A and B are shown apart, each in its own frame.
Chain A
């Protein structure tokens, strides 16, 4: 049974322009699903819609989001926020903007436990300490007293992972959490996310544009173009034989040092034109 189930999700700009076009996808507990696409494909927008943090200019115009079997969009706003806060969390892209530069790390992890879940301060602090150990931070006590600028990029991302897992959410949305990191740190962070996700049996929706990262972290993936699902498949099936021509082109554009001549190929114009036509036809059908 899926922990997160999205059906026909449609998000539009206020002027009616669609950002997401009837997107459907499922993530089971303990499953990692990657959301893949170029910039502007709507991959981050899906996570934002689920968490109820769509930008002002966008609104949800159709579809259902089931979280743990409950229809989020049918709930009154306050109850919806409460459910999302208790059951889901976000690992953001840029750890420097996600952390408040003028506050110490400790309170930034415990706030959520104290304010939203009503924990007592000492209890929350003990939990934060435990979490920082769990994400392999050597000296948790010192880190809790540090300010964000005193930590390296990789350390900051570890703190945000700890913070995301703090309230034992059963769904985590990770929005390109490693794009700001260099490859060796990226490897450590991907392994850490995978380890935490397996231990806590979390459903994980992992947003990325890098198919190399997809093959390391996820079991299934959804390829998006212009807010429309292009392909929805298992990771092995995808890398063995992507079905859609656009998916094939995306795979050929991905750098692969073991195959310098068969990688880093720009997506050909005729493939873009074909997928654009497909989206237009889908729109015509959708507007009927």
Chain B
């Protein structure tokens, strides 16, 4: 019990389908997650993989309660958060943080990096903010002088580091990283992944890493959840998934990854 950080049971999420909404009355709902059950152990690095529309981002956002599920249960460190109200959630929020896909739209363009990183800590009532900001910057490998920079002055990889610094500054137990390297070129991608790997080790973080790219996930993750159309089609240890994929959809995903090798031929 104590070694599980998350226990999810029969989690269902649906959204109203506005394209089918009658003029008067409510829109029919589209089921996005169709009853997911799985656990996340402390210290795990969980990869959540799937194509567009598979529900992988929705799952992540529901786990940290940016979305409320329709039904089912989410136990986070033993407490039921599936339908917890915002006031009760707030003190828990410092324990689960998120790094967003697009660092340009998730960093306020009018604030300096120092203010961006300090923001959530201020809301959570932390003290010694500037020391904590400097420490967070150091952990993500950015110089202290960056506190006075604006997001537009930074490269894509540096912006993503700021997003990571903002999340780890609160010393969370769990971080959700949603497609955080898909906008970066290969060398910044490799740097950011190495940084995450190191932070997970040093801080004892539990991480959920959402991506459509299994080759990126292989390096980082210990366990992989493959989603397809709102259902878990495979939940396996990383090594097993790559050596012996069980689901057809997993094989389709693996086969679609372009390896840097001209001998790999696509049918």
Cα distance A214–B186 in the bound complex, in angstroms: 13
**Alpha-carbon distance between A235 and B260 when the two chains are bound, in angstroms:** 10
In the complex, the answer to whether B52 meets A185 with C-beta atoms within 8 Å is yes
A283 within 8 A of B: no
> A63 within 8 Å of B by Cβ?
no
Q: Which residues of A contact B262 (CB under 8 A)?
A: 215, 235-236, 239
Do the beta carbons of B190 and A256 come within 8 Å of each other? no
Given known A-B contacts A257-B214, A264-B189, A184 and B253 have beta carbons under 8 A apart: yes
Cβ of A153 under 8 Å from chain B: yes
- A108: interface (CB < 8 Å): no
Binds A, one of B83-91, B110-118, B215-223: B215-223
A183 touches B213 (CB 8 A): yes
Binding site for B on A (CB under 8 A): 38-39, 152-153, 181-187, 190-191, 209-216, 235-236, 239, 249-251, 253-258, 260, 263-267
Residue in A39, A185, A250, A255 whose CB lies within 8 Å of B216: A255
* A38-B185, A39-B185, A184-B252 as given contacts; A266 in contact with B260, CB under 8 Å: no
| Chain B minimum-CB-distance residue to A249 | B187
Binding site for A on B (CB under 8 A): 51-52, 155-156, 185-191, 193-194, 212-216, 218-219, 242, 252-262, 264, 266
Partner among A39, A211, A214, A266 whose Cβ is within 8 Å of the Cβ of B194: A266
A253 and B52 in contact, given A183-B212, A214-B260, A215-B258 (Cβ under 8 angstroms): no
Report yes or no: A264 in contact with B216, Cβ–Cβ below 8 A: yes
Chain B residue with Cβ nearest A182: B212
Which chain B positions have C-beta within 8 A of A267? 187, 190
| Chain B residue at smallest Cβ distance from A153 | B52
Instruction: Identify the closest chain B residue to A39 (Cβ).
Output: B185
Which residues of B sit under 8 angstroms from A185, Cβ to Cβ?
51-52
Least CB distance from A210 to B in Å reads: 7
Cβ-defined contact, A216 with B266, below 8 A = yes
User: Is the pair B264, A209 in contact by a Cβ cutoff of 8 Å?
Assistant: no
Majority secondary structure of chain B interface residues (helix, strand, loop or mixed) = helix
Which residues does chain A contribute within 8 Å of B212, judged by CB atoms?
Answer: 182-183
Nearest B-chain residue to A239, judged by Cβ: B262
Measured between beta carbons, the chain A residues less than 8 angstroms from B257 are: 183, 212, 257
Q: Which residues of B contact A183 (CB under 8 A)?
A: 51, 212-214, 253, 256-258
C-alpha spacing A152/B185, complex, angstroms: 24
* Smallest beta-carbon distance B179→chain A, Å: 10
Q: In the docked arrangement, what's the CA distance between A213 and B218, Å?
A: 19
In the complex, chain B residues whose CB is within 8 Å of the CB of A256: 215, 259-261
In the complex the two chains form, what is the Cα distance from A100 to B154 in whole Å?
Answer: 31
Distance in Å: Cβ of B47 to nearest Cβ of chain A: 12
Give the most central of B52, B156, B260: most A CB within 10 Å. Answer: B260
Q: A249-B187, A253-B189, A267-B190 are in contact. List 13 more A-B contacts (CB 8 A).
A: A182-B52, A210-B186, A213-B258, A215-B261, A216-B258, A216-B264, A239-B261, A255-B186, A256-B259, A263-B219, A264-B189, A264-B193, A264-B216
Complex CA–CA separation, A239 to B264 (angstroms): 12
Closest-CB distance, A105 to chain B (whole angstroms):
18
Residues of A with C-beta under 8 A to B255: 187
Cβ contacts under 8 Å, B254 to chain A: 257
CA distance A256 to B215 in the complex (A): 6
The 18 sampled A-B contact pairs (Cβ below 8 Å) are A38-B187, A39-B156, A152-B52, A181-B52, A184-B51, A186-B258, A209-B186, A211-B186, A215-B258, A236-B262, A253-B189, A254-B186, A254-B260, A255-B186, A255-B189, A255-B216, A255-B219, A266-B187
